Structure 1
């Protein structure tokens, strides 16, 4: 899953949310510098990623993209699933998406003293383009894919993937809606088990 989902799946715990955001930015050696609750959020991030990668619906979406995007197919699926989370937001949250996005930027900025430089730069990107909110439209997804394509180590063609999103939107949405309630349940249990 990508950033919108990770933030939503943290529940209302601020430090858990911070750790879940940092999951892709911190190395294990840096965990010693973070509070136990933030470390737990990093662990939740990795648990979400592992659960997602193994889920049948997610794998089905990945396989649709694999012929064209090979090793980037799971990355694209993560981003597409944030698009469908934003599109179906009212199914999973009572808080309006724009309000949630602004709340997350504020929360993350408040805690950025513990962020590595890359996490700070990415937060600036998220906020300046209101990415969390704009995951819900194809222009926002295109902006994210353009950036990822530029950073890829070789010609990934990720910037072309919106074509597949449009072509198979109904299939991806069906798979996402079958998958995400399972992930929500998994996260609720994980958080309870790690209190």
Structure 2
């Protein structure tokens, strides 16, 4: 799952908006405040669950030009696309209201975030591009962003070259995976309430 899904999970579980994004940014975990640490830890659990889910295994095995070892990166972005496309199935909150709420939640913690996440939050404050992740152009922009900052980014070009097919391949994967993921995070939060922390 990418940014949008992790923010939706933060909302659904009433955990830190920023904390649920920190798993994609460099942090000193031992120095995180408790609320950010809980969000960070939930992010890690989500990533493991998604990677191991049968639908993800199937997505990585689908026929395409891009190398299988990099398909998980593309899947995360495509899952955001399909979550936004199916938003009304997973939230009664209008999409624009959710996006505004998410940005305000992130801004409340911006001073406790690492510099790169701060930069992203301020970008959202100015342009609020979250809903654009549910468009083909938004998927392209997200992939280009990774390609610019990642030394192996060139390996994502084949996925871009056949992006309509890759996006379509993700629909059934998302619909099989996301309900299971929401059930999983609900159970994780309930366990955390019993023991007093996400452990």
Specify if TM > 0.5. yes
Query: Which of 184, 187, 194 is residue 186 of structure 1 equivalent to?
Result: 184
1:118 partner SS: helix
TM-score, length-scaled by structure 1: 0.88
Partner of 2:112: 114
Partner of 1:139: 137
Whole-angstrom CA distance in 1 between matches of 2:182 and 2:82: 15
Decide whether aligned partners of structure 1 residues 41 and 155 sit closer, same or farther in structure 2, where only a CA change above 3 A counts: closer
Partner of 2:150: 152
Decide whether aligned partners of structure 1 residues 114 and 15 sit closer, same or farther in structure 2, where only a CA change above 3 A counts: farther
Counterpart mapping for 1:1-195 below 5 A? 1-11=1-11, 15-27=15-27, 30-64=28-62, 67-154=65-152, 156-159=154-157, 161-195=159-193
1:17 partner SS: coil
1:12-53 deviations in Å (ceiling 9; x for gaps): 5665322111122243xx234332122111100000000000
Decide whether aligned partners of structure 1 residues 52 and 133 sit closer, same or farther in structure 2, where only a CA change above 3 A counts: same
Higher relative contact order (CA 8 A, sep 6+): 2
Q: Structure 2, unaligned stretches of length 5 or more?
A: 194-199
Whole-angstrom CA distance in 1 between matches of 2:110 and 2:30: 16
- C-alpha displacement at 1:125, in angstroms? 3.6
Decide whether aligned partners of structure 1 residues 168 and 149 sit closer, same or farther in structure 2, where only a CA change above 3 A counts: closer
Kindly report the root-mean-square deviation, in angstroms, between the aligned alpha carbons of the 2 structures.
2.1
Q: Structure 1, unaligned stretches of length 5 or more?
A: none
Whole-angstrom CA distance in 1 between matches of 2:155 and 2:124: 22
**Aligned length in residues:** 193
